[in-house]
Amino acid sequence: MGPEEEPVVSEPRTASNPGDAPAYRLATASMVLGVLGFLPFGQFAVVAIVMGHVARRRIRRTGEGGRGRATAGLVLGYLFTCLWAGIQGTTVWAYGVAFHLW
């Protein structure tokens, strides 16, 4: 007989090894949607904000990784939401001025 082999044991999930933790995936999705927030009307930015808040709450509760990604998704989401709100507000104002003068 040969030498005995030890069974392979996977590492437990920790902040440095998040694995497929739900909070880590939510944080990544928040960041990706935040980056896509520049697309017309910013609908992805709003979803990034919601997912970022949910991910941060889970990360705070469980200690899993991904806090930086969730924060990046939140910052980008709020940034693009404000940008699109400003563009839409300016457009409505400009149409109002144009039709009032016409």
In tens, the pLDDT along 54-92 reads 999 999 999 888 999 999 999 999 999 999 999 999 999
Which residue from 38, 33, 37 is spatially nearest to 52, judged by alpha carbons? 33
Q: How far apart are CA 72 and CA 27, in angstroms?
A: 9
Q: What is the pLDDT of residue 87?
A: 93
Please report, for the chain, the start and end positions of each structural domain, with discontinuous segments joined by +.
22-101
Q: How far apart are CA 17 and CA 34, in angstroms?
A: 24
Q: What is the pLDDT of residue 13?
A: 53
Which residue from 29, 18, 96 is spatially nearest to 59, judged by alpha carbons? 18
- Largest Cα–Cα distance of the chain, in whole Å? 96
pLDDT more than 70, % of the chain: 77
> Which class for 78: exposed (0-12), middle (13-18), buried (19 or more C-beta within 10 A)?
middle
Over residues 28-49, mean pLDDT: 91
Query: Could you tell me the pTM of the whole model?
Result: 0.73
